[in-house]
Structure 1
């Protein structure tokens, strides 16, 4: 079961990264599996109403700076409705500072 969850998270992470790369949105990855500080930052900055009833939210979680954008499901829905730049808090063709919490990584879009 643990391996299945890891593969699912990894596929979601890759989907987000592929979108960023395809749209030439710069990003930096930071490993949250190796940093308790980064992991706690992610947990702290997700609004209470967006956290699961039990356990901690799983990556990928998406932020623009300290502003929470949403989880992978929200990202996917915005991609399907062609509103993903708005979801990320970006103006069309202009990047700002987006932080994506991914499988063991935080991705910062600059």
Structure 2
């Protein structure tokens, strides 16, 4: 399974930049493997993203804004969906992942 985050490297929108950074930063911090796809550099990828966002998630006017998140070809959602899943502590389910990646936890010894 490959999580793909569709982003725009050259955008004039501060909000879009912050949303992209929030998603990518969260994935990196939680050691979730993902691929960043820049839709401003790859026309084919941009068109694929537009075609694969469900109709009910399309804006009434214009094109969907990045970041858009997919697990392989399955649409997960946009920034708002990601933010809600983060608030509800359901990001792994949102991404279609079965569990958190295993991370070694340091156990502190209690002094006796």
Question: Taking structure 1 as the reference length, what is the TM-score of the superposition?
Answer: 0.78
After superposition, the CA RMSD in angstroms is 1.3
Q: Does 1:13 align with 2:30?
A: no
The answer for the alignment partner of 2:31 in structure 1 is 24
- Count residues in correspondence: 91
Q: Does 1:40 align with 2:47?
A: yes
The answer for the alignment partner of 1:51 in structure 2 is 58
Task: Map 1:83-102; keep pairs closer than 5 Å.
Answer: 83-94=90-101
- Structure with a larger share of its residues in helix: 1
Where structure 1 has 5 or more consecutive residues not aligned to the other structure, the ranges are 95-110
1:1-20 per-residue CA deviation (whole Å, 9 max, x = no partner) reads x83xx211110011001110
Q: Which has the higher contact order (CA 8 A, sep 6+)?
A: 1
Q: Tell me how far 1:22 sits from its aligned partner.
A: 1.1
Q: Tell me how far 1:41 sits from its aligned partner.
A: 0.4
Q: Tell me how far 1:29 sits from its aligned partner.
A: 2.1
Question: Taking structure 2 as the reference length, what is the TM-score of the superposition?
Answer: 0.76
Task: Name the larger-Rg structure.
Answer: 2
Where structure 2 has 5 or more consecutive residues not aligned to the other structure, the ranges are 1-10, 102-112
Which 4+ residue blocks in structure 1 deviate beyond 4 angstroms? none
1:70-98 per-residue CA deviation (whole Å, 9 max, x = no partner) reads 1100100000000011001011125xxxx
